[in-house]
């Protein structure tokens, strides 16, 4: 590593971010990687690496001169970082640790590292001496070059006076700061943390910089993120497997996020002063809580997915999926808009309040193409801003940001006249988004700090596997991809499933041939397939313009035909054994029902089951007389059985929650999902009683219609998440206003 740095320094390049993550091992040889900070600073300073005054690097391995944002940064800063790495390799910890970036930097600036030999007696004297010299506070006291550092490590006779005095307290602690800063350090008020030096100095210099960090847990779907208006804190909704959902709030100057549990809805939004977080989504109502943690307070059950108009009023998405307005203290919800369903409009989603509190930007959600509109809170007028776009955010630089095809675009925008100007310009590609839900993972603060989650880093590839009742797994298809909704054909020889390629389409997996073939090729998404009992046709959801149901012959002998259409979203779930009746799930504005309809269209659809609670995933018993389904409110769902004709009471199957049930063993058993696990329970339909559930197996199998069972219950076709780091990075770009002005214009 020292050899690589010596070469880079000889070429005039200072790395500035030496840390374990930037060292790669190739064929047993270490390689120093990621010279991104060096190149960015070099470009910003016109090649003058010592004149930027930026505090860059990673706190544990940062040199004292970096920590105090000295302008004179030389190659000896990299030597200090390399010494910090060696120290950690020998002891297990960096020279200075702490619970926050501020604490770590305070120690780097004011405290000597504990001598190596006190922590590890077997460290050779010359190695301890060389490490101590590399970690000297003053750059002039360190090695003159990385080569000299390496030579000292290999020289058994090397020694340094610093070894004898390293652990001895001194009357004066040496640190390379200007006299104007000395009083701050002595008084213990040094708060020049890495991020604040980066943000503050970069903003003053008009410099755009990038770095990445993680909030520390996985989450399903598009991550809901926001940044406070002062650009100091980032929040993300998280729902890691097996852990209570909540919010992660990360101060950019802190090492670790603050985890806030007890939050079961997404879309968190900081209040203008940063003291509160509003949250709520998926029918959970609208809530608020202190941004540093505390008890959530229900604002209203009549809307969710909100933004703050001012410190006491929010704009939200109402139960009619139009815009509404409500006080942060609760009370009457003022309905503002009604989606024009006759014109193909489904909802007014992702509202963002504009400065001054007089207008709102939102996504006019339509299928297959949405658009961005503005709503004037004074006049009630609507203005179309951008076609074929979703999820807008306003930038105080006078620009509107939005997403199209997983890319971030920008266009000039006047929040007073509610008009766009000029041409839209692509700014970033690879942005995580879901146009079908009008969601995207980006936010921008009032001072121009942009946070983005990359699509390529967020989406987890998946594998197709067979799992037996004991949990023994066997690969079904080795090519990773984005798979969902598998359904095994009646003869067990094929599996229909959803594949992103990149749009969602229905594909057929041939079990014997181990081959995957595309079935649907529409211009819009097609997904969540089921089989007809004869195995000849597949029924699926098609995005045209609502989520309507279509069917298509598996052999491609005929074009797809519509089964049912309407304002509601429909998702096919099962067909009765005689092929006469379709069971499907109907969803609209937070309401979910199980529906039954004759496939020949001889009668209108009817709701099945208990209509006082949401129900879904109905499945016919092998004799066609019973339906198993899951029902409940929010995430609290259980599995029940009831006669198809609705007579009699329901039979309770699950005891600890459950969803997505299947009949197995000729109707004598029901299997279902609880989290990532698969459970089974015996069922006696004559006695109308269920046995005690027991877990069959658990594993890295997402619980989102991501499995199916063979009719005899011996095997399960599972979608398995490919292993990835627990935390995925969030890209932070400071002073993004400069890039907007350069690319889009003032």
Tokens of 425: 């310009």
pLDDT on residue 191:
31
Does the pLDDT at position 232 exceed 80?
Answer: yes
pTM for the predicted model, two decimal places = 0.61
Residue 240's pLDDT band, with cuts at 50, 70 and 90, is low
Write the pLDDT tens digit of every residue in 124-157.
999 999 999 999 998 888 999 999 999 999 998 8
d(CA 7, CA 14): 10
Does the pLDDT at position 177 exceed 60?
Answer: no
pLDDT on residue 728:
61
pLDDT on residue 456:
76
Residue 673's pLDDT band, with cuts at 50, 70 and 90, is very high
Does the pLDDT at position 309 exceed 90?
Answer: yes
If DSSP states are collapsed to H, E and C, what string results for 322-371?
A: CEEEEECCCCCCEECCCCCHHHCEEEEEEEEECCCCCEEEEEEEECCCCE
Helix (H, G, I), strand (E, B) or coil at 509: strand
Other C-beta atoms within 10 Å of 491: how many? 11
Does the pLDDT at position 90 exceed 70?
Answer: yes
Are the beta carbons of 270 and 449 closer than 8 angstroms? no
C-alpha count within 13 angstroms, C-beta hemisphere, residue 500: 11
Average of pLDDT values for 629-647? 84
Helix (H, G, I), strand (E, B) or coil at 181: helix
- DSSP E strands in 157-232: the ranges are 210-214, 225-227
If DSSP states are collapsed to H, E and C, what string results for 35-103?
A: CHHHHHHHHHCCCCCCCCCCCCCCHHHCCHHHHCCCCCCCHHHHHHHHHHHHHHHHHCCCCCCCCCHHH
pLDDT on residue 58:
61
Does the pLDDT at position 203 exceed 70?
Answer: no
Residue 209's pLDDT band, with cuts at 50, 70 and 90, is low
Q: Which residue has the higher pLDDT, 564 or 186?
A: 564
d(CA 514, CA 437): 33
pLDDT on residue 167:
34
- Torsion, Cα of 528, 532, 536, 541 (10° steps): -30
Residue of 75, 102, 56 whose CA lies nearest to 4? 75
Q: Print burial letters for 312-333: b (CB count within 10 Å at least 16), e (below 16).
A: ebbbbbbbbbbbbbbebeeeeb
Region of poorest pLDDT, from 175-179, 240-244, 254-258, 495-499: 175-179
CA distances (Å), 45 to each of 34, 37, 65, 674, in order? 19, 12, 18, 56
C-alpha count within 13 angstroms, C-beta hemisphere, residue 582: 28
β-strands 715-721, 442-444 pairing: unpaired
Residues in the chain: 746
d(CA 489, CA 710): 9
Tokens of 414: 């006047």
Average of pLDDT values for 663-667? 96
Tokens of 179: 């006299």
CA distances (Å), 712 to each of 283, 352, 653, 663, in order? 37, 51, 19, 9
Average of pLDDT values for 569-582? 95
CA distances (Å), 359 to each of 289, 303, 480, in order? 25, 19, 45
Over pLDDT 70: what percentage of the chain?
Answer: 83
Does the pLDDT at position 525 exceed 50?
Answer: yes
Average of pLDDT values for 440-468? 89
Average of pLDDT values for 476-505? 92
Average of pLDDT values for 569-594? 87
pLDDT on residue 56:
44
Q: How far is CA 630 from the centre of its chain?
A: 27
Q: Phi and psi (nearest 5°) for 69?
A: 60, 40
Residue 335's pLDDT band, with cuts at 50, 70 and 90, is very high
Average of pLDDT values for 210-228? 69
pLDDT on residue 51:
38
Write the pLDDT tens digit of every residue in 397-429.
999 999 998 899 999 999 999 999 999 999 998
Considering 1-10, 26-35, 529-538, the range whose residues carry the highest mean pLDDT is 529-538
């Amino acid at each position: 590593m020292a050899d690589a740095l010596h070469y880079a320094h000889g070429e005039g390049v200072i790395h500035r971010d030496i840390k374990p993550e930037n060292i790669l091992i190739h064929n047993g040889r270490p390689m120093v990687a990621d010279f991104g900070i060096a190149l960015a600073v070099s470009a910003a300073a016109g090649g003058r690496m010592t004149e930027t005054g930026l505090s860059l690097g990673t706190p544990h391995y940062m040199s004292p001169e970096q920590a105090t944002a000295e302008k004179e940064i030389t190659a000896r800063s990299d030597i200090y970082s390399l010494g910090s790495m060696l120290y950690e390799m020998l002891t297990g910890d960096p020279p200075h640790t702490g619970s926050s970036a501020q604490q770590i930097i305070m120690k780097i600036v004011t405290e000597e590292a504990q001598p190596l030999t006190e922590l590890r007696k077997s460290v050779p004297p010359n190695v301890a001496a060389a490490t101590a010299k590399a970690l000297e506070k003053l750059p002039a006291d360190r090695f003159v070059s990385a080569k000299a550092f390496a030579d000292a490590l290999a020289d058994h006779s090397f020694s340094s006076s610093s070894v004898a005095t390293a652990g001895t307290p001194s009357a004066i602690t040496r640190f390379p700061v200007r006299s104007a800063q000395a009083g701050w350090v002595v008084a213990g008020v040094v708060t020049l943390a890495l991020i604040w030096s980066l943000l503050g100095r970069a903003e003053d210099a008009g410099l755009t910089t990038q770095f990445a960090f993680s909030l520390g847990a996985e989450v399903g779907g598009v991550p809901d993120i926001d940044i406070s208006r002062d650009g100091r804190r980032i929040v993300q909704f998280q729902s890691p497997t097996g852990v209570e959902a909540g919010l992660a709030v990360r101060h950019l100057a802190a090492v670790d996020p603050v985890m806030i549990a007890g939050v079961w809805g997404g879309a968190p939004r900081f209040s203008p002063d940063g003291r509160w977080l509003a949250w709520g989504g998926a029918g959970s109502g609208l809530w608020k809580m202190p941004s540093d943690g505390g008890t959530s307070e229900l604002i209203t059950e009549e809307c969710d997915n909100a933004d703050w108009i001012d410190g006491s009023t929010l704009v939200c998405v109402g139960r009619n999926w139009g815009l509404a307005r409500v006080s942060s203290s609760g009370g009457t919800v003022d309905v503002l808009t009604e989606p024009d369903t006759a014109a193909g409009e489904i909802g007014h989603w992702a509202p963002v309040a504009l400065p001054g509190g007089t207008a709102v930007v939102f996504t006019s959600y339509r299928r297959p193409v949405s658009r961005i509109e503005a709503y004037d809170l004074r006049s009630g007028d609507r203005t179309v801003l951008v076609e074929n776009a979703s999820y807008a955010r306003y930038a105080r630089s006078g620009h509107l940001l939005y997403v199209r095809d997983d890319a971030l675009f920008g266009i000039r925008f006047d929040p007073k006249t509610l008009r766009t100007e000029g041409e839209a310009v692509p700014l970033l590609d690879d942005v995580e988004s879901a146009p079908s839900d009008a969601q995207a993972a980006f936010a921008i603060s009032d001072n121009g700090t942009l946070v983005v989650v990359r699509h390529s880093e967020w989406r987890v590839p998946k594998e197709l596997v067979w799992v037996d009742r004991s949990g023994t797994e066997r690969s079904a298809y080795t090519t990773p991809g984005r798979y969902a909704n598998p359904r095994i054909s009646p003869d067990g020889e094929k599996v229909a499933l959803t594949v992103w390629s990149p749009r969602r389409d229905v594909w057929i997996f041939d079990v014997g041939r181990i081959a995957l073939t595309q079935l649907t090729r529409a211009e819009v998404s097609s997904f969540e397939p089921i089989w007809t009992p004869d195995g000849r046709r597949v029924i699926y959801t098609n995005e045209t313009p609502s989520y309507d149901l279509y069917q298509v012959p598996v052999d491609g002998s005929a074009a797809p035909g519509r089964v049912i259409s309407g304002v509601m979203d429909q998702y096919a779930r099962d067909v009765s054994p005689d092929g006469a009746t379709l069971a499907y799930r109907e969803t609209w504005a937070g309401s979910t029902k199980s529906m039954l309809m004759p496939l020949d269209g001889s009668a209108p659809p009817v709701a099945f089951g208990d209509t006082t609670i949401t129900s879904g995933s109905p499945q016919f018993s092998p004799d066609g007389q019973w339906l198993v389904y899951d029902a409940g409110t929010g995430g609290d769902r259980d599995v029940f059985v009831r006669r198809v004709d609705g007579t009699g009471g329901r039979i309770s199957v699950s005891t600890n929650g459950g969803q997505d049930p299947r009949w197995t063993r000729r109707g004598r058993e029901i299997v279902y999902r609880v989290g990532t696990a698969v459970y089974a329970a015996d069922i006696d339909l004559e006695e109308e009683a269920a046995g005690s559930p027991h877990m069959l197996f658990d594993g890295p199998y997402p619980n989102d219609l991501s499995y199916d069972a063979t009719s005899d219950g011996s095997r399960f076709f599972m979608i398995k998440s490919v292993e990835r780091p627990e935390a995925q990075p969030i890209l932070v770009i400071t002073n993004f206003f400069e890039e907007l002005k350069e690319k889009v214009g003032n």
